[in-house]
Structure 1
Amino acid sequence: MSSRANATLHIPVTGLSCAGCVRRAQSAIEQVEGVAEAAVNLANEQADITLQHNANSNSVIANVAAQLKKAGYPTRVEEIQLSLNGMHCASCVGKVEKALRLVAGVLDARVNLANETARVEFIASTQGADVRIRDLLQAVKQAGYSAEVHEYQQQDQAHTKQKAYQQLKRSFWLAFALTLPVFFVEMGSHFIPLIHQLVESSMSLEVNWGLQFILTSLVMFGPGLRFYKVGLPALFRGTPDMNSLVAMGTLAAWAYSCVALFFPEWLPSASRFVYFEPAAVIVTLILLGRLLEARAKGRTGEAIKKLLGLQVKTARVKSNNGFQDVSLSHIEIGDTIQVRPGERVAVDGVVIEGESHLDESMLTGEPMPVRKTINDKVVGGTLNTNGTLLYRADKIGADTVLAQIIQLVERAQGARLPVQHLVDKVTAVFVPVVLALALVTLLVWLMFGPEPALTMALVNAVAVLIIACPCAMGLATPVSIMVGTGRAANDGILFRKGEALQQLRDIKVVAFDKTGTLTEGKPSLRRVVRAAHAQFPETELLSLAASAEEHSEHPIARAVVAAAKAQKLKLQPTLTFEQISGMGLEAQVNAHTVLIGAARLMQSRGIALGNLEQSADDFASEGETPLFIAVNGQLEALITVADKVRESTAIAIQTLHGLGLKVAMITGDAKHTAHAIAKQLGIDHVVAEVMPNGKVDAIEALQQAHGCVAFVGDGINDAPALAKANVGIAIGSGTDVAIESADVVLMRSDITSVAHAIALSQKTMRNIKQNLFWAFAYNILLIPVAAGVLYPIWGLLLSPMLAAGAMALSSVFVITNALRLKDINKEA
């Protein structure tokens, strides 16, 4: 959480139970000054808030927290106690309090000079409390004091949810135990003669109803109190939600029964019945539904749990007294850290001593451990398999690769897809409409229903209120997104923008960059062919070329330099160097002007290619990239470089064709080379010899001809093309995941992940449609049934208890359906 322009805040929101809650919480946030946009997600209980330009993030956070609390959906606040050192007076207290309150996410800070402690209230971080604590300790340090955590126990999101689940579980079983006798006495008497005789002989009707009153009241105002504490205030504020519907329905049944029990003379004799049992059963069934829902929702966030499980809690940091175990929040950049066999690397850094092999499968998907020695980079979360390493911490906290991955996954899981707008529009009016329908049901049955009309009216109105709770609507989209993006993350596919999950479904063409995407990006020198009138021997030409190419970062340049070093040729001083975009380079090497590049570079300088032009075409047709070398304006040689096609490329293209997609290749390579590789791989469309900006034009042409285009590149040289495509897919290097131009990042080099991402998008969107259909159809079909439209035809009514069961099961169905996405095969 920062005060950067257009920064995005991620704030947990509690009390959400349906789509209506989401809409009201979002509306409350959007009223806060400084908020440009807000999106509330029911599945992960989080609000993603985009700030207006130059808005003060802390001021906005405080106001957002206040608005959410006022609306009945408070954010989750945590509190820690810090032990302080260096304070002497009230001025010190003021300085420390001011420093702590300026930390993003802090709501309040209170410092006690007497015992040198500070109590800090802050909004729970979606990345866990360690990140926030590190910021607090750093703020105190910058104010001129020192601090450490005092008796702090981390309350991360998973622990909080587990605690809430256990409380819900206890509430359900208590409600079940209290409801069972009520159900036994009431329903058992109706269906089992022996129970009816036993109840009638052992207690009077007044005692029977009195017992039901006591037990039902304990259920409603004990385990069920949560519905009334949230639902009634929302109703009085004029913003009723799902809890309001449950509260109104059960209270109506309970109140009517209390009148029948305590003031029977107020009711017609034909209407003197009690409905304690439906009220108790409804509360119990809805608690059961929420319990099942919480259990299922816990499984939707397993991807985040798995990633969080890779984070270590402590590390062995070198100090004056040797190595000491230090909390992750206390590690600073530059610290020397020891990692022993079987331990995970704590933070990102560079090896300064030792040699070992690290299991980096969490990044690359490759099962073979990677050798690490001095000056090699190590990434936090990777597993050390054998030797002991010392490394210098280079990135900590939110800057580490693992933290970035977690952030990307969380951002994708909290995404708000365009399809969600339909749900928003419906839920905006849904609960008020239901209340109106319940009132109409009550009045119609009172006026036209058979005797006992009052009883029938009440039962059917309650059934309408209970059946219509829009939980399934609110969960339909976010749970599928959470499971789908979580599954993608497990397969090394990170959605930087959640919208890409929907956009990928509509892709018609997948365009690939060649070097480093379709190929391994490790070209090697294949041939050196001297011109007929060459002035320099082959070794001298290779030395000049390597001397010039040493200053270029292009993969082909590295291949030329590697070939020269392999022959142990001496590189010469380079006085000037100029990269000629899309064509090659020019350099002054000693006394010689060296020109290296494609045929179009030579032609632009008026250098004839002679007999080498045909040779270049022949080699290009075999998939090799030809380059010409001219020295002092004279053509000297033709060299060719070849880059091995990835083993997975052919399979990936076949899979994309199997999905009904066209495949294109956009490259700056020579036409003959590009077409040779395209023919070998079965690529449909080739655009070759293009400048970097030409790739954007090529994508525009594909969009006009075919529709939505996905472009796959390395995320660095291809940034304009990635941004222009409908969906930009960057192949990450395993450690470079923050590729700003891409919508999707592939952590692994296997480009079959492209087809997998598209297939997963298609199946996720299909899953969302199934959920939405069920959620809408459920309400559209069952609300009229609950109102009693089938009664005049077949004499059928929907019991409020059955309505409660159906309502609870609808949410469980939606979540269970979304969880099927976890079982998608990678080859699918």
Structure 2
Amino acid sequence: MKHTYIIGGMSCEGCCEKVKQALNKIKGISSVVSLIPPEATITMEKHVPLEKLQEVLSTTGNYTIKMAGHIDAETHTQAAISPDNSTLKYSCPMHPEIIKDKPGACPICGMDLVPISGTGTKDEEDQTYDKLLRKFKIAALFTVPIFFISMSEMIHGNPLVNLMDLRYWNWVQFILSIPVVFYATWMFFERAWRSVITWNLNMFTLIGIGAGVSWLFSIISLLFPGIFPDQFKTHSGTVYVYFEAASVILTLVLLGQLLEARAHGKTNSAIKELLKLAPNEATKIVDEKEMTVAIDDIQKGDLLRVKPGEKVPVDGSIQSGNVTIDESMISGEPIPVDKKPGDKVSSGTINGNKTFTMLAEKVGSETLLSQIIEMVNSASRSKAPIQKLADKISGYFVPIVVFISITTFIVWAIYGPEPSYVYAFVNAIAVLIIACPCALGLATPMSVMVGVGKGAKSGILIKNAESLEKMNAIDIVVIDKTGTVTEGKPSVEKVVSTNPDFTKEDILKKIISLNSSSEHPLAQATLRYGEEKNIKIEPITHFEAITGKGVIGVLGEEKLSLGNEKLMEQVGAEITSGLSEQVNAEQKQGKTVSYLSVGNIAVGFVVIYDKIKESSKGAINKLQQEGLQVLMFTGDNEDTAKAVSKTLNLDGYKAQMLPEDKLREIKRLQAEGKKVAMAGDGINDAPALSQADIGIAMGTGTDVAIQSAAITLVKGDLNGIVKARLLSRKVMRNIKGNLFFALGYNALGIPFAAGVLYPFFGILLSPMIAALAMSLSSVSVILNSLRLRGTKLD
């Protein structure tokens, strides 16, 4: 038996290995553990209780394990089953591999964890923002009077001094600062302390040191003013205090966190819109009577009725009714699609103005909508390779900033004007506060999150951030023929007998009988044709499908083979010259031909035509204009492949390719240093899709192909590759803009805060202004990322 579990507490590949080794120590267990998503797929000889698994992991580290696969009744999305029945998960925007059951701070960077879209209700997701807003109001309430008390010293004839002495006003500032430090913003100091003891130095390390030193210095100056030299004292004899600097800095940082929490909700708006598509109820037909049921109560094989204007509840096929379905929310195409009995419909799409009945075929997490939501969520939490650069810089950033701050203090203390120690202290604090690595860390994940969401709304499903980055660097696009270049809806044009012992009807009966056990699209085309001709299917024994060649079986005492020339060679069937000439003539017109042999003689053939998609030629031309080579690898014969290649003006093609041939050819191209994208839709394309630098699956194809690919085009249209390339280019440009802004901001901000302009222009940067600039830098990165939502991919 095999089960999937969600693992909590993993933060790196080392954690994955530790969890895997711990689980594999249990007798009868084999596990595969991944970081993104944080899951363990466990194969057991016999059932092992969850408690046992948790006990083993607890001895290894602070890891948790929960069953996966529960479908939440409210959101209809896959979530973990937890003891408290909470489905809401929280993740770090800078370190998406961190996933927690409760809100809090990221153990690596200290940022607030934000709700993962699709794992909870809107009310739950607003709790983090509401909590920050409440704390900000309290912080602002006490900080504003502190600020005015401090600023009153700049007013000639300070009116506050007439009320009481300055040293007493300093005590008022101290009292007012207590709720700010110890309630509203105490979490910043907790995160700073945690960052030091774990040596995961981050923005809160700098904030904690800067604001903490300012506040503690002020306390000491209140209690022991005599220990300070005269240059630390005002003209009235009191020591300079920085309660206002500490309070304003902390309040402004809290404002930045508040603005980020609000902006995060917009970055994953595409996922939220997808979630809204999931209907809550459906109309089920039982004994010819209608009854309203919850989505969770629908089983495979149920007969459902969908009325005008209603959303399709689950994936399935139409049983009765000719209708028009709006699939724009899934495919990104605004034009409604006409559907007839037998056609597939997807959950979340909207019925037009006619009622139809449908058979439920995929329910719960199996539906296309659920898979899209899960894929987008996973991709949003994955890391692009360019993120490694930002992570590496961030690792050295905080120690360097602390060093610069200490150096700033020393330089100002030695060379600064009087009171030099005051200048040194203020400028050192300003350096700590302005140097926020947060903007640098957010640069990549914010762009990825918005870009993935934009792709989902346009019918482009991206499995991970790495594929989004690589898409812009490919040199060659390899495409399959059937279902990729063509519509994937083959139809029989004619059946031909070339042996006088068999009539055309005999040939057709043998073909459809043999194909009745096959799932191949070409086989289904012959079955539809046979049904139209009222041909009765005869039982077949010893059936076998030979990948890339065809099918064989026994009808009565006759050994039948149906497939291409390679299959005829394999079974030793003789092809006469007349038969070969007829077949070649059809193939040169771009048609697919399958031989039928009885015993060791080829006695006829079936001609199947699959129309080339209208969009294929235009899409291929656009890719070629961008400097890409477009090649076609197909299992079809040479003449058919040549005809299709000529029609589409391809850069090259290879025919009669088995799955291993496609795989080998892609490896050869990669060995030449080429970056290869492979687009396909069938089971036989899966190995090549996995090997390619970017595997692109047609959403109209098989589940195996979709699972093997990094990008899925919901509509199954090659124009999707053009859109994916454009999206990749826009996202990478956005990421580089974010990184340039974040690095440029620090490159200018730190020297400015250190006071390099003072000798020339007499300009110094207040720590409070530094705090405001630091907060706004992170918000600016998020707002720049949000511009991707308006990107046009057409």
TM-aligned CA distance change 1:489 to 1:66, over 3 Å: farther
TM-aligned CA distance change 1:350 to 1:664, over 3 Å: closer
TM-aligned CA distance change 1:205 to 1:577, over 3 Å: closer
For 1:344-374, what per-residue CA distance to the aligned partner results, in whole angstroms no more than 9, with x for missing partners? 455556789999776444444564366587x
| 1:100 aligned residue | none
1:221 pairs with 2:221: no
Distance across 2 between alignment mates of 1:285 and 1:65: 40
For 1:668-702, what per-residue CA distance to the aligned partner results, in whole angstroms no more than 9, with x for missing partners? 11112111111111211201111222111222233
Distance across 1 between alignment mates of 2:57 and 2:203: 23
**In structure 2, the residue corresponding to 1:415 is in which secondary structure?**
coil
| 2:126 aligned residue | 162
| 1:110 aligned residue | none
Task: Name whichever of 439-448 and 750-759 sits farther off.
Answer: 439-448
Matched to 2:627, the amino acid is: G
Out of 673, 679, 684, the residue aligned to residue 646 of structure 2 is 679
Out of 203, 211, 214, the residue aligned to residue 242 of structure 1 is 203
Equivalent residues in 2 for 1:387-786 (5 A)? 397-528=364-495, 531=498, 534-572=500-538, 574=540, 577-589=543-555, 594-602=560-568, 605=572, 607-631=574-598, 633-637=600-604, 639-705=606-672, 707-733=674-700, 736=703, 739-786=706-753
Does the 8 Å contact 1:165/1:295 carry over to 2? yes
Distance across 2 between alignment mates of 1:678 and 1:761: 27
User: How much has 1:415 moved relative to structure 2?
Assistant: 0.8
| 1:176 aligned residue | 140
**In structure 2, the residue corresponding to 1:623 is in which secondary structure?**
coil
Distance across 2 between alignment mates of 1:737 and 1:344: 27
Distance across 2 between alignment mates of 1:820 and 1:704: 38
Measured on the aligned residues, the alpha-carbon RMSD in Å equals 4.2
| 1:84 aligned residue | none
**In structure 1, the residue corresponding to 2:611 is in which secondary structure?**
coil
TM-aligned CA distance change 1:521 to 1:219, over 3 Å: same
User: How much has 1:155 moved relative to structure 2?
Assistant: 8.7
1:271 pairs with 2:232: yes
Matched to 2:469, the amino acid is: Q
For 1:316-348, what per-residue CA distance to the aligned partner results, in whole angstroms no more than 9, with x for missing partners? 77999x988776667777888776654445555
Equivalent residues in 2 for 1:292-441 (5 A)? 292-313=259-280, 342-347=309-314, 359-365=326-332, 367-368=335-336, 379-385=346-352, 397-441=364-408
For 1:559-583, what per-residue CA distance to the aligned partner results, in whole angstroms no more than 9, with x for missing partners? 3343344344455554554444433
For 1:10-58, what per-residue CA distance to the aligned partner results, in whole angstroms no more than 9, with x for missing partners? 65x9xxxxxxxxxxx8369939952679xxxxxxxx9843559779876
**In structure 2, the residue corresponding to 1:526 is in which secondary structure?**
strand
Does the 8 Å contact 1:379/1:735 carry over to 2? no
Distance across 2 between alignment mates of 1:67 and 1:243: 29
Does the 8 Å contact 1:530/1:636 carry over to 2? yes
User: How much has 1:613 moved relative to structure 2?
Assistant: 3.5
Distance across 1 between alignment mates of 2:61 and 2:171: 41
TM-aligned CA distance change 1:606 to 1:343, over 3 Å: closer
User: How much has 1:503 moved relative to structure 2?
Assistant: 2.5
Matched to 1:786, the amino acid is: A
| 1:26 aligned residue | 11
1:255 pairs with 2:219: no
Calculate the TM-score normalised by the size of structure 1. 0.77
Distance across 2 between alignment mates of 1:232 and 1:400: 46
Matched to 1:225, the amino acid is: W
Matched to 1:439, the amino acid is: I
Does the 8 Å contact 2:315/2:347 carry over to 1? yes
Does the 8 Å contact 2:695/2:708 carry over to 1? yes
User: How much has 1:611 moved relative to structure 2?
Assistant: 3.6
Does the 8 Å contact 1:664/1:685 carry over to 2? yes
TM-aligned CA distance change 1:186 to 1:392, over 3 Å: same
User: How much has 1:824 moved relative to structure 2?
Assistant: 2.0
User: How much has 1:757 moved relative to structure 2?
Assistant: 1.6
Equivalent residues in 2 for 1:779-794 (5 A)? 779-794=746-761
Matched to 1:745, the amino acid is: T
Distance across 2 between alignment mates of 1:815 and 1:65: 37
**In structure 2, the residue corresponding to 1:514 is in which secondary structure?**
coil
Does the 8 Å contact 1:363/1:734 carry over to 2? no
TM-aligned CA distance change 1:449 to 1:371, over 3 Å: same
Distance across 1 between alignment mates of 2:663 and 2:741: 42
Does the 8 Å contact 2:329/2:349 carry over to 1? yes
TM-aligned CA distance change 1:189 to 1:680, over 3 Å: farther
Matched to 2:336, the amino acid is: M
Task: Name whichever of 654-663 and 571-580 sits farther off.
Answer: 571-580
User: How much has 1:507 moved relative to structure 2?
Assistant: 1.4
For 1:366-390, what per-residue CA distance to the aligned partner results, in whole angstroms no more than 9, with x for missing partners? 64366587x9876543445556778
User: How much has 1:804 moved relative to structure 2?
Assistant: 0.9
TM-aligned CA distance change 1:677 to 1:735, over 3 Å: closer
TM-aligned CA distance change 1:295 to 1:333, over 3 Å: same
TM-aligned CA distance change 1:527 to 1:812, over 3 Å: same
Distance across 1 between alignment mates of 2:684 and 2:13: 43
For 1:775-817, what per-residue CA distance to the aligned partner results, in whole angstroms no more than 9, with x for missing partners? 2333344223323344445544322122112211211121122
Equivalent residues in 2 for 1:128-147 (5 A)? none
Task: Name whichever of 719-728 and 414-423 sits farther off.
Answer: 414-423
| 2:98 aligned residue | none
Does the 8 Å contact 2:232/2:419 carry over to 1? yes
Distance across 2 between alignment mates of 1:63 and 1:266: 57
**In structure 2, the residue corresponding to 1:712 is in which secondary structure?**
strand
1:814 pairs with 2:781: yes
Does the 8 Å contact 1:345/1:380 carry over to 2? yes
Identity of aligned pairs, percent?
Answer: 38
User: How much has 1:494 moved relative to structure 2?
Assistant: 1.9
Distance across 2 between alignment mates of 1:558 and 1:51: 38
| 1:803 aligned residue | 770
Distance across 2 between alignment mates of 1:727 and 1:68: 36
User: How much has 1:164 moved relative to structure 2?
Assistant: 1.5
Distance across 2 between alignment mates of 1:434 and 1:824: 37
**In structure 2, the residue corresponding to 1:717 is in which secondary structure?**
helix
Matched to 2:205, the amino acid is: S
Task: Name whichever of 58-67 and 687-696 sits farther off.
Answer: 58-67
TM-aligned CA distance change 1:270 to 1:682, over 3 Å: same
For 1:714-754, what per-residue CA distance to the aligned partner results, in whole angstroms no more than 9, with x for missing partners? 14221111122122111123895883322222222222112
Does the 8 Å contact 1:666/1:698 carry over to 2? no
Distance across 1 between alignment mates of 2:375 and 2:769: 42
Distance across 2 between alignment mates of 1:123 and 1:589: 55
**In structure 1, the residue corresponding to 2:792 is in which secondary structure?**
coil
TM-aligned CA distance change 1:283 to 1:267, over 3 Å: same
TM-aligned CA distance change 1:56 to 1:807, over 3 Å: farther
| 1:284 aligned residue | 251
Equivalent residues in 2 for 1:48-197 (5 A)? 48-51=37-40, 106=82, 120=84, 124-125=88-89, 156=120, 158-187=122-151, 190=154
Does the 8 Å contact 2:436/2:774 carry over to 1? yes
**In structure 2, the residue corresponding to 1:34 is in which secondary structure?**
helix
Does the 8 Å contact 1:29/1:67 carry over to 2? no
Does the 8 Å contact 1:65/1:75 carry over to 2? no
Out of 6, 9, 23, the residue aligned to residue 6 of structure 2 is 9
User: How much has 1:460 moved relative to structure 2?
Assistant: 1.4
